[in-house]
A and B are shown apart, each in its own frame.
Chain A
Amino acid sequence: MRLCFVFLQKEFAVRQEVIILAEATAIRTPVSNAVEINELLRRYGVKFGIYKNGVFKEQLFPFDPIPRIITAEDFKSIEKGLIQRVDALNKFLFDIYHEKNIIKDNVIPEDFVYISSGYLPQCEGISPVHDIYSHISGIDLVQGKDNEWYILEDNLRIPSGASYPLIARELTRVASPSAFTENDIVDNRNYAKLLKDTMDYVNCGGINAILTPGRYNAAYFEHSYLAELTGSVLVQNDELFVEDNILYHKTYTGGKAKIGALYRRISDEYLDPLTFEPSSLIGIPNLMEAYRSGNVAIINAPGNGVADDKGIYYFVPKMIKYYLGEEPILKNAPTYLPFYDEDREYVLENLGKLVIKDVAEAGVYGVVFGSDLSEEKLEEFKNTILREPRRFIAQEVIDFLDLPILDNGEQVMRKADLRAFVLSGATTRVWASGLTRFSRNPDSFVVNSSQGGGFKDTWVLSR
């Protein structure tokens, strides 16, 4: 009797889930078996690590079965816009570390370049293979209620997250096959091939390797999964050495194998203790010399931080016009630089409705919503802006579309963004998918996984 009751209860929940999904997304057949998909994700070790009170813990990245849908038409335009943006950013990086024409031509004030913590003088004059700096670009977008897509942020250093929708798609196809027979979805399982093509294209002769800080890094699952899928060797710094400006991998038989492309998943400052942070214990001494000599491609190139700085973001549309002679296809969120008199005036007058970002801080740190500040705090902030106008940018708060998620079987609306992945090799290509992250808490804009947020698959429709 009890068994029967449990069964009926489960059946009801599943049917209810299906109805909710269909209503939420207007797709022909929704994803079913959400519980089973999350169990499969657990089985395949789809986890991320976090430190709580100094203790490392691995936890599952909760998957929501309602996909984000991008129509074929929308994707076409996004794709075009992203390729344009990343191409311009790559040209900007080359220019900044060589001729600096964009500064000479007064398109970008030099203050914004040289003060940026992402600008690395050690990279001056180095030309990466095929002049590609950002091989893997993670561009964060949101869709406004007017259906317009806005760029929130460019991530050109070590953007992460592609592996999650990649494996989720694989497992969803197993658990819910009808969703894929009944809907026209572009297959996204080519990410590893795109990545491998990119690595091969810039490879300077030798094996492809992925450099991880180790098992206790938050994104370790991704490092190891991408190594497996691309056939790269997953390495840590103590397995690598540079000899005669060539990067080698030490083998267990005492031999060495030349590395031609190193997809590093550690930050610039820790890459080479002889060039950057001397106290780095996860870097490889003389790696920059091997790179400078053209013996190894570093993916992404060191020094990219100058182009994804919050202050530089403002200038990306100008870069597109400057380098490509084109009008930007994708819009930035309306942004103001207090550095400019006119913008500063506007920011000070409208601070209460703007979101202010400290350009020196990464991610969600240093982000303040004016509406959350008291009168007193607003005045205090205005004075800080007047004192240090270069330090901040201000943006209009975009009224963006919330997406439906399932929360204990109930459909609720939550803030979500989209990280699109753009791979630059022989050509610039946009992965027909992306990582959609959502906030767990209502009214929260924080979609970070460490704050309890989860992820969705992103379906690009083929027609």
Chain B
Amino acid sequence: MGTISIEHGDRLFWLGRYTERVFTTLKSLERVYDMTLDGNADCYKQYLSAFGLSDCGDADTFFRSYIFDKKKPGSVAHSLERAYDNGIVLREEISTEALSFLQMAMDKLEKSSESTQGLLLALLPMEDILFGFWGCISDYIYDREILTIIRCGKSVERLDLYLRLKYPWRMINLEFERLCRHLQNVPKNSPYRYNTKHLSVLAELMGMGEDYTERADEAIISVGRLFETV
């Protein structure tokens, strides 16, 4: 394998972040959708408030825009496009095979938007495709540095979203431990070398167990500044 440029390093990191954003957003929206089936029509508002966003009118509008609207930041479609934009310039690092899963995901999402089936059923294959993408990444990429950068991005994004959405502590802690394992593989001069101060803050908050929610905002800031140069 050759060398990794600054730009490609950055894109690998964001490829990890955006693919994870697609996945976790999908999973979260599926959960919210499921809750609406029991008559809790307003539960989507909690999702919006977790991101500091204002109400968009009604549940149907919410689901359609946060899944299919390419112009809506944070939507599945928007994040998927960003993932593809990063992936397309990384073909020689991630392989044509892996890139093809992103194209398939975009095609699937477009078809799902026209589907008359239940929303969850129509979107289910998206998860399969994303699992395929990550499997492909793990299988095809032999360069440990490349894998580490993507995985750091993926883990940081998951942690960020889990914290915002107030996921159970156990799930957050497991992801945090996974991130720490990835960070151990980062070379010393890499821009993905962690900032000790922010990593310590996160470790401390994880030690609080379920009470982490009291300081979740602090944790989100530390995740965002994890690779800040000291």
- Listed stretches A1-9, A153-161, A249-257, A420-428; interface member: A249-257
Query: Using an 8 Å CB-CB cutoff, how does the interface string of A29-48 with B read, 1 for contact, 0 for none?
Result: 00000000000001111000
User: Which residues of chain B come closer than 8 Å to A251, judged between CB atoms?
Assistant: 3-6
A142 within 8 A of B: no
B153 within 8 A of A: no
Contact A228/B4 with A253-B189, A255-B189 known, Cβ cut-off 8 Å:
no
Report which A residues bind B (CB closer than 8 A): 42-45, 167, 207-209, 215, 220, 224-225, 227-228, 231-236, 238-239, 249-255, 257
Cβ-defined contact, A234 with B92, below 8 A: yes
* Contact of A252 (CB < 8 Å), options: B85, B89, B104, B190: B190
User: Which residues of chain B come closer than 8 Å to A208, judged between CB atoms?
Assistant: 2
How far apart sit A235 and B92, CA to CA, in the bound complex (Å)?
11
Cβ-defined contact, B1 with A231, below 8 A: yes
Q: Using a Cβ–Cβ cut-off of 8 Å, how many residues does chain B contribute to the interface with A? A: 26
* Contact of B92 (CB < 8 Å), options: A207, A228, A249, A254: A228
B191 within 8 A of A: yes
How far apart sit A249 and B2, CA to CA, in the bound complex (Å)?
10
How far apart sit A399 and B188, CA to CA, in the bound complex (Å)?
66
How far apart sit A225 and B104, CA to CA, in the bound complex (Å)?
18
Cβ-defined contact, B6 with A239, below 8 A: yes
Cβ-defined contact, A42 with B88, below 8 A: no
B8 within 8 A of A: yes
B225 within 8 A of A: no
Chain A's closest residue to B2 (CB) is A233
Cβ-defined contact, A224 with B187, below 8 A: no
How far apart sit A220 and B99, CA to CA, in the bound complex (Å)?
14
Cβ-defined contact, A45 with B2, below 8 A: no
User: Which residues of chain B come closer than 8 Å to A249, judged between CB atoms?
Assistant: 2-3, 5
Cβ-defined contact, B91 with A225, below 8 A: yes
User: Which residues of chain A come closer than 8 Å to B190, judged between CB atoms?
Assistant: 252-253
Cβ-defined contact, A45 with B100, below 8 A: yes
Query: Using an 8 Å CB-CB cutoff, how does the interface string of B69-85 with A read, 1 for contact, 0 for none?
Result: 00000000000000001
User: Which residues of chain A come closer than 8 Å to B96, judged between CB atoms?
Assistant: 44-45, 167, 225, 228
| Pairs A-B, 8 closest by C-beta atoms | A252-B9, A233-B2, A224-B91, A227-B92, A239-B5, A253-B189, A228-B92, A257-B3
How far apart sit A43 and B187, CA to CA, in the bound complex (Å)?
34
How far apart sit A390 and B10, CA to CA, in the bound complex (Å)?
52
Contact A250/B6 with A45-B99, A45-B100 known, Cβ cut-off 8 Å:
yes
How far apart sit A235 and B4, CA to CA, in the bound complex (Å)?
9
User: Which residues of chain A come closer than 8 Å to B214, judged between CB atoms?
Assistant: none
* Contact of B103 (CB < 8 Å), options: A42, A209, A236: A42
6 extra interchain contacts, Cβ-Cβ under 8 A, other than A167-B96, A224-B91, A252-B6?
Answer: A45-B96, A227-B92, A228-B92, A232-B92, A235-B5, A252-B8
User: Which residues of chain A come closer than 8 Å to B100, judged between CB atoms?
Assistant: 43-45
B95 within 8 A of A: yes
Chain B's closest residue to A215 (CB) is B89
> Chain A CB within 10 Å — which of B85, B89, B190 has the most?
B89
User: Which residues of chain B come closer than 8 Å to A255, judged between CB atoms?
Assistant: 3, 189
* Contact of B7 (CB < 8 Å), options: A45, A225, A232, A236: A236
